[in-house]
Amino acid sequence: METPDNNLPGNRPPAPLSLVDLVIRLALAALLMWLAAHAFAPFLVMMVWAVVLAVSLHPLNQKLAARLGGSNGRAATVLVLLMLVLLGVPTVLLGMAFIDHVIGFHDSLSEGRQVIPPPPKAVEDWPLVGQQIYAAWQSASTNFTRFAEHYHDQLLALSRDAVAKLGSTLTALLAFTAAFIVAGILLAYTTPSHSTARRIFSRVCGPEHGPQMLELSVATVRSVSSGVIGVAFIQALLLGIGFLLCGVPGAGLLAVVALILGIAQIPAILVVIPVLVWLWSQSDASTLASVVFSVYLVLAGLADNVLKPMLLGRGVAVPMPVILLGALGGMISAGLTGLFVGAVILALGYQVLKVWVRGGEPEPPSTPEHE
């Protein structure tokens, strides 16, 4: 029986990879990853928002798909169109109104026209600070021409910078609208998207902990959506209804301010206090109506203290303070997108720390306190 000749080219074992070849391959792989990240960077924020929207809207999309014959694509189309009408259109209109105001302010400064209208007479009747505010406002209104001549260059530069930022504002609005469309595509292909994410988490965290980390990430995003943005939206809606019933000027704008403050975790009661001052300064308002509206606005302004513990951290195997700290830290460092990214990162870090402390052993089952 003939033995194979190892000296033949086809029978030689593969040569060991030299250090130079290994370094070159790693460098090329790193270069490829850097080029890919550089090309994907302009779409990163949009894709993060798309994933957040897709994860948050998935339960609603599943219920809608059940009513539409089980078609995820049809349900995603209907849901995205509905969200674009309810959220996208008002957001674009608000942004366009802001753009018009900034352009008008810039044109007024350029042409030397008066940009500060005289104060309403009712301002003088405000308690405590009404006369001081009225006097300062009246002075700025009557003497603004001389003020603008003295600080014309500074004001013109300030308005020019504001106009320059309109391009980035419009880009953000378009990216927000595009995120809804990409989220609809992800919702239409829920099964392959979930399978891909599961494989990625399993490769990074191992087949034992990967699926758990994926479910934790999904639950954290949904918790932040309902516990932060959901609570802020509910509170802004309640305050907006109260402002409209009270006849507050600019009720819609104040409701938007309350929404932004709620997302930023700043107490919305800061918006309610000036409204209460205005409400009690109205001479034609009855005492009973003022008391009723004041109680309603105060309760609505403090509603987040009741709703947030109920919704934030719900269904997540991580304590609520960890989710809240991650959301706040992420928002401070990375803006609104970091609200979700920070919460997910801190929740995953907390879970990894628990696994490391247990030495990889499964978590013991919790026993009721009364036993």
113 with 238, same domain?
A: no
| Over residues 147-156, mean pLDDT | 63
137 with 174, same domain?
A: yes
| Over residues 254-280, mean pLDDT | 82
At 366 the pLDDT is 47
> Does any domain span residue 368?
no
170 with 273, same domain?
A: no
At 304 the pLDDT is 83
Range of the domain at 357: 207-361
> Does any domain span residue 17?
no
Distance CA 136, CA 118 (A): 10
Over 50: is that where the pLDDT of 307 sits? yes
176 with 211, same domain?
A: no
| Over residues 32-60, mean pLDDT | 88
163 with 216, same domain?
A: no
Of 297, 195, 210, 287, the residue nearest 245 (C-alpha): 297
Distance CA 194, CA 199 (A): 9
253 with 160, same domain?
A: no
Threshold 0.95, pTM exceeds: no
Distance CA 257, CA 201 (A): 38
| Over residues 74-80, mean pLDDT | 86
**Residues 210 and 204: beta-carbon distance below 8 Å:** yes
At 134 the pLDDT is 75
183 with 228, same domain?
A: no
Distance CA 339, CA 226 (A): 12
213 with 355, same domain?
A: yes
Q: What percent of the chain has pLDDT over 90?
A: 4
> Does any domain span residue 371?
no
Place of tokens 């792989």: 29
138 with 259, same domain?
A: no
> Does any domain span residue 276?
yes
| Over residues 290-301, mean pLDDT | 86
Query: What secondary structure, in 3-state letters, does the chain show?
Result: CCCCCCCCHHHCCCCCCCHHHHHHHHHHHHHHHHHHHHHHHHHHHHHHHHHHHHHHHHHHHHHHHHHCCCCHHHHHHHHHHHHHHHHHHHHHHHHHHHHHHHHHHHHHHHHCCCCCCCCCHHHHHCCCCHHHHHHHHHHHHHCHHHHHHHCHHHHHHHHHHHHHCHHHHHHHHHHHHHHHHHHHHHHHCHHHHHHHHHHHHHHHHHHHHHHHHHHHHHHHHHHHHHHHHHHHHHHHHHHHHHHHHHCCCCHHHHHHHHHHHHHCCCCCHHHHHHHHHHHHHCCCCCHHHHHHHHHHHHHHHCCHHHHHHHHCCCCCCCCHHHHHHHHHHHHHHHHHHHHHHHHHHHHHHHHHHHHHHHCCCCCCCCCCCCC
Give the chain's domain count: 2
Over 50: is that where the pLDDT of 36 sits? yes
> Does any domain span residue 16?
no
The separation between CA 225 and the C-alpha centre of its own chain, rounded to angstroms, equals 8
At 208 the pLDDT is 82
At 238 the pLDDT is 87
Distance CA 98, CA 91 (A): 11
Q: How confident is the model at residue 368 (pLDDT cuts 50, 70, 90)?
A: very low
> Does any domain span residue 30?
no
240 with 158, same domain?
A: no
* The residue type at 23: V
213 with 174, same domain?
A: no
253 with 129, same domain?
A: no
At 32 the pLDDT is 94
> Does any domain span residue 86?
yes
> Does any domain span residue 201?
no
Q: How confident is the model at residue 173 (pLDDT cuts 50, 70, 90)?
A: low
* Other beta carbons less than 10 A from residue 257's beta carbon: 16
Q: Of 138, 155, 188, which one is at a domain's C-terminal end? A: 188
Q: How confident is the model at residue 318 (pLDDT cuts 50, 70, 90)?
A: confident
